[in-house]
Chains A and B, each alone.
Chain A
Amino acid sequence: MLFTYKSLWGKKPRLKSSYEVVIIGGGLHGLATAYYLARDHGITDVAIVEKRYIGFGGAGRNTAIVRANQRTQYNVPLYKEALDLWPVLTKELDFNLMFNNCGNLNLMHSEAAMKAARMTIATAQFHGVESHLIDAKQAKEMVPALNISEDITFPIHGAMYHPPGGIVRHDAVVWGLAKGCAKKGVHIHQQTEATAIHTQGGKIAGVTTSQGHIKTPKVLVSAGGYSAGVINHMLGLKLPISVLTIQAMVTQPLKPLLNHVVSSGAYHCYANQTLKGEIATGAHMDPWPNYTTQTTAHYIKHQAEALSDWLPCLRGVRFMRIWGGLADMTPDMAPILEGNDPIGGFYMDCGWGYFGFKSCSAAGKYMAQFIATENCPDMLKPFNLRRYEKHQLMGETAALVSYTPDN
């Protein structure tokens, strides 16, 4: 038989009374960490506890863009590795993650932005990541729908073209990783809410869930937008995080129009076409913290206005669906990957803002190493929590946000 219809993740496991590692949050980072704990470190006695269902949060709400053209040398290698892992994981998991390696164009709308792009591009090239500066005409050749005239709010000067980036089917990553985890013996407990984390003598002792108590020496919180609230609520640790709602939307499906991911910092807007043909777009966020994933009238209108400017043919297309998700933003747009400080056995993987999807594979791999060896891998050292009190912010801010100098 060509197709079989067995459950991808086997039978539902029963919650045991103890695990070697408990991961709170069944999103991409939790699943990836569990997968690599099992794959690379032989640690399979792992429970993922998920309040809703796997991929409910940011994992299922992002717009699936992947790229490695971050701004600083600390970030580029991590995202590069994440990017390189998509085809590897597709094979390993035997699940098509549908990596569409279509390349990203990041539009630049001023000379200052072109300068900023040069720096980002030089940083990418220095680290072996392909990225080039192209002018407006070249961008138009790649994206014929682009409006490169002068009479729009932010005329297009050029673009940062990043061929290795693209789109990955986000749901597939969730399901593929869950399949991989289950196969290696990891327990995924859905509809199981962690309600307390217990410590004893400055060390992790256990986790209480809605389905029962678990004894464990190691806990990872990777609950996306809910991480900071959970960590403060359960352990009294405050984090430099603001949880904001970010929205994304799709138009009705169209025959191929956009062959690349195109984004604009000045317009706070990106657009790409999914394999189904929908134009997926989004990027702006409502600048106040909240835990709702509600969308706003203000925002869908803003998006239509922005696209009217730089992709004007889309004015004849209809929005079909808008949704919201949570982004846990740090002041320097870089994540917090920390462990054993200040509580032994306690690990956190949060603060990804809107970079959580594109980083998940590599972040999971190194967090697994961190948890297994109890030593922070070099790759993750720059993402420590203490950098904020040392006034050494990461400088990643300009990765997508517009860049205008003052005169």
Chain B
Amino acid sequence: MKRLRQFPTLHIDTNETRSLKYRGKSLQGFAGDTVATALYANGIRIFSRSLKYHRPRGLYNLDGESSNTCMEVDGVPNVRTENTLLKDGMVVKAQNVKGSVDHDLMAFIDKLDWLMPAGFYYKTMHKPAAVWPVAMKAIRKAAGVGTISADYKVKGRYDEIFLTADVCVIGGGAAGMMAALTAAESGVRVIVLESRPHLGGCWDYRTGAYKENKPLFARARELAGQVENTSNIRVFKQTSMVGAYNNNLITAFQVGKSNDAFTERYVEIRSKSVVVATGCIERPLIFENNERPGVMQVACAHRLARSYGLLPGEAAVFSIGHDLGLEAALDLFDLGLKIRCVADIREDGHDAGLLAALAERKIPVLKGWVAAKAHGCKQVTKVTLATLDGTVKRHIPCDLLVASAGHTPVNGPLILAQTNIAYDNHSGFFLPKKLPEKMFSAGWMTGRSHPQAIEASGQVAGLKALAAIGVTDKTAVFAAEKEAAALPGIDRGCKLVTAPVKGRKSFICFDEDTTIKNIKQAIDMGFDVPELIKRFTSAGTGPGQGGIPGHNLPLFVSKYTASASKPMPTAVRPPLVPTLLATYAGAHHHMFKRTPLHASQKKGGGIFRNIGVWQRARYFSSDFDCKDEILNVRNNVGLLDSSTLGKFRIFGPDALKALQRLYVSDMSKLKQGRIKYSAMCNDDGCVIDDGIVIKRGDNDYYVTTSSGRAGNTVEWFRYHTRYDGWQYHMVNLTDAMGVINISGPNARKVLKKIADADISNNAFPFAGYREFTVKNTIPVRAMRLGFVGELSFELHVPSSYMQSVWDMLMAAGAEFNIKNFGLEAQNVLRMEKGHIILGQESEQRTNLLDLGLGFLWDRKKTAAKTVGAVALRQAENDPGRFKLVGIRMQDDARAPRDGALIVDTHVRGYVATARKSFTTGEAVGMALVESQLSKPGSRLEIYEDECNEIRLQARVVPMPFYDPDGQRMKM
């Protein structure tokens, strides 16, 4: 197709070609073309087949308001080709097609529409019941538009950017640009978001007069130049605003240019004030076959010619309801389009100058006429025009039908930001009742279309935005408002929704193939609110985000139900423009913490797991039962990296009070040089943490928490003392200090070689706490614990020295064949000792007493208002609680799986942890059971998943299972 060249509004560069692949052929377009305009230039008229009826669909508009031109581009489904810039080498495919898009084998469905009235699937397909699964499969296959393969990897780089601004202007048309320039004059930081690749809005291609001898497009370019050259205005082009949230948070996505470092990026702007100047889109005219290829909207036809150099057809009929239709007809005629006739819905109110110009060119104008039907099965060949009452008809052959009932403001950004809109009878627009704080609207969307009025409204909005953030005062706003008020006001709009037709093939929503007839059916079935009709008929729920039916649906419902109330709009939801998940995800990356020993643990054969926020070595044995690790600790000596333990310094005059509030034990009895094991509960008495408390000096304590609680500990302490005004400080040392656990009968022999202190059992007994150095340099906090049930030292070492100390211990232990052990080995070792791990032996509802830890609780310190104490007191005689017990299997051959149930006729508890002990040879574990089953000797039936009703037998036994007197850890 020959392009029109050489006029100032073109956005294509005919010197630079771009190729694309479509249906096996290589086609040519130009730089600046969208995928769809390039296809159109190559004679492509059918772009897709519709969702339900497989009707041919063509280019209808250029801003992605329908899915008509959604195609698969480079493997990505549902790309809106009409506003996606063509890049060299793109591979394009039509969607929802069986056969080819021109000869779709499924096209016969269009004849079966009578079988598929509104909501037909609710009323059918369930009788008899066996039909449904079969029908469902068929529905699933037929539904959906694009295809994506399960292993698809999207190409490109996706980024994100978070900005702040004083004024954010949405829409780079004349009003938006005026608002931006006005605001920028005061020196504030302004951002302009424009979805097209260039500023200018609808003036960009319009030839109408701005002032004498200056067409609108020239004025648009003038303003754009000023905006681009203002240093405190940051312009984002090809950036579609997708979300507006209260508090003026604006989100958008930007498509990268060829020299940008990103393919697309997510843009989030927190702006002090916002100006919305998104203009209008056309309100579709509804008649029979109103979406047949060859039917398009006014701006689409006009822009094809003016921006892309494409005459949209040869001979056209216009069916319109506004002056922009007349203006476009005139301009397109002058560019060479034959115009058979212009049918204008309006009887009066036309622009006299435009009518005179049309008459001059002998273009017939029929007032009070409208298109009633488009003929031609794949492409318009003829149009039936009718008077508004449908009594007189005329048939006119043509290959292009430019159809547009009126305009509708792009209110999406306002509505998302919680603006209530209401129908305005004069303009036929939904207009805001009251704008949210610090958000203003300007331009055509306010109902004005006179060029000077548009600019003035932009100026007012810019000043209002400044006033709202205290940069100017209100007097400037009042002056500008007064000036604007003198200009032409809100236009009268055309209200016609449909041509005088029954509406069997008159589509109110293209994406979902919803007809006027469907809407009538839904209303007759009792769905009388637009929002419900939307749900029942799916109208407006497709990829076009309601662009096509958004205005017509409420209008039609109001007319059809003859309801006294005004048309009620349906909901608008983000994203206003469908947005790739890749773009939303942006520069998404993983966050995991590594201990100071990560690398050496890995080298040592550690098999890592993500546990909470940490990556930790869980196994050093590929068989996962960790026998060697376990026996090495029991009989020799092993090293464990426990760096993830929560570690805190708590100090200050009220530190003890805080400890008394949070821990169940009496912390006033703490002695320096001794460790105290205790627990923290929540206000239901349930255990949320356990750990060690150490007194290092007056009002100075060092505490450990479980790894998973470390992140919440400061919050927890402060929360429970928030009313008290106590003076104490907490320092989270979790990342500053690492922890090495050295355990086993040979542990002392190894540690002795590097510690600068006497660590004999007398000098440093069980439950003791010592601080000493290693090699006269490295400060170590050492405690003697017995979690794994052997002689054991826990060394808290500054993180930067962790690797050194670890290496020294490894070297010192080489003669004993010292080895790593991991978390699973520790898990089994401590289980044999009957030591609990919270979250494994407890769940959210398990209290201190259930776990047998009541001995930790000091009941006398009521004045401390200890967290959990009230609930523990209230629950202590409740027989209906679970108890933690030791169990031993009747058959020692194997332990039950963790999580197996204890049952009789009901569930009576569950197995928390159970293993066959390598140390004792017994299959033992811990279980939480109802209290009546908790007595030693009670028989338990265990029900595992997939057990086929074969239950395992066990009985309750005393704990611990290993070294009951605790001699080994006190060695």
Contact = CB atoms under 8 A, between A and B. Distances in A.
Direct A–B contact present (CB less than 8 angstroms): yes
Contacts of A392: 845, 878, 880-881
Given A125-B945, A313-B150, A277 B140 contact: yes
B226 interface: no
Contacts of A115: 897-899
Interface stretch (B194-202, B343-351, B576-584): B576-584
Nearest to B844: A397
B245 to A, nearest CB: 6
Given A121-B945, A407-B611, A252 B823 contact: no
Interface string B842-856: 011101000000000
B129 A98 contact: no
Contact of B706 (A98, A253, A313, A407): A407
B143 interface: yes
Closest 5 CB pairs of A and B: A277-B144, A304-B584, A405-B839, A119-B899, A406-B706
A153 B844 contact: no
Interface in A256-306: 256-257, 273, 275-277, 294-297, 300-301, 303-305
B592 to A, nearest CB: 7
A256 B612 contact: no
Nearest to A116: B899
B289 interface: no
Interface string A141-169: 00011000000111100000000000001
A112 B840 contact: yes
A398 B843 contact: yes
B132 A316 contact: no
Interface in B76-125: 76-78, 114-115, 117, 120-125
B365 interface: no
B495 to A, nearest CB: 26
Interface residues of B, number: 122
A316 to B, nearest CB: 4
B246 interface: yes
B8 to A, nearest CB: 35
B128 to A, nearest CB: 9
B945 A118 contact: yes
A316 B129 contact: no
A320 interface: yes
Interface in A237-262: 251-257
A315 B708 contact: no
Contacts of A301: 266, 584-586
Interface string A34-75: 000000000000000000010100001000000000001100
Nearest to A157: B609
A185 interface: no
Contacts of B575: 300, 319-322
Given A320-B543, A320-B578, A406-B706, 19 more contacts: A3-B120, A5-B524, A90-B132, A97-B126, A98-B136, A118-B945, A125-B946, A252-B578, A253-B145, A253-B543, A256-B141, A305-B584, A307-B581, A313-B151, A315-B154, A316-B76, A322-B573, A392-B880, A398-B843
A14 interface: no
B753 interface: no
Contacts of B132: 90, 96, 98-99
B644 interface: yes
Interface in B39-76: 51, 75-76
Contact of A118 (B75, B618, B899): B899
A2 to B, nearest CB: 8
Given A73-B907, A91-B129, A318-B581, A145 B144 contact: no
Interface in B122-158: 122-127, 129, 132-133, 136, 139-141, 143-154
B708 A405 contact: yes
B147 A275 contact: no
Interface in A67-98: 72-73, 87, 90-91, 94-98
28 contacts: A55-B532, A94-B126, A98-B122, A101-B133, A112-B839, A119-B910, A122-B943, A132-B945, A145-B150, A253-B51, A253-B143, A254-B146, A257-B150, A300-B584, A301-B586, A303-B584, A308-B581, A316-B148, A316-B582, A318-B78, A319-B578, A321-B541, A321-B573, A323-B571, A398-B844, A404-B839, A407-B644, A407-B707
A254 B609 contact: no
B703 to A, nearest CB: 15
B122 A175 contact: yes
A128 to B, nearest CB: 11
A331 to B, nearest CB: 8
A6 B524 contact: yes
Given A91-B126, A255-B141, A391-B874, A276 B538 contact: yes
Contacts of B827: 407
B208 interface: no
Interface in A151-198: 152-155, 169, 171-172, 175-176
Interface string B245-264: 11001010000000000000
A275 B77 contact: no
A90 B141 CA distance: 23
B837 A406 contact: yes
Contacts of A87: 129
Contacts of B588: 304-305, 308-309
B281 interface: no
Given A96-B132, A111-B618, A393-B844, A253 B268 contact: no
Contact of B526 (A3, A7, A100, A254): A7
Interface of B: 51, 75-78, 114-115, 117, 120-127, 129, 132-133, 136, 139-141, 143-154, 243, 245-246, 249, 251, 266, 268, 418, 520-521, 524-526, 529, 531-532, 535-536, 538, 541-543, 545, 571, 573-575, 578-586, 588, 590-592, 609-612, 616, 618, 642, 644, 684-686, 689, 706-709, 823, 826-827, 837-840, 843-845, 847, 871, 874-875, 878, 880-881, 897-901, 903, 906-907, 910, 943-947
A118 B914 CA distance: 14
A159 to B, nearest CB: 13
A32 to B, nearest CB: 18
A379 interface: no
Contacts of A344: none
A318 to B, nearest CB: 4
A374 interface: no
B147 A254 contact: yes
Nearest to A100: B136
A23 interface: no
A5 B588 CA distance: 50
Contacts of A277: 140, 143-145
Highest count of chain A CB atoms <10 Å: which of B132, B147, B900: B132
B144 A255 contact: yes
Contact of B129 (A90, A318, A403): A90
Nearest to B521: A5
A312 interface: yes
Given A255-B141, A317-B148, A320-B545, A122 B590 contact: no
B67 to A, nearest CB: 8
B899 A318 contact: no
A6 B574 CA distance: 35
A151 to B, nearest CB: 8
Nearest to B139: A275
B582 A118 contact: no
Contacts of A153: 590-592, 610
Contacts of B141: 255-256
B897 A257 contact: no
Contacts of A315: 153-154, 580-582, 585
Given A118-B897, A175-B122, A110 B143 contact: no
A202 to B, nearest CB: 26
Contacts of B532: 53, 55
Given A111-B609, A297-B268, A392-B880, A275 B136 contact: yes
B144 A314 contact: no
A313 B590 contact: no
A385 to B, nearest CB: 15
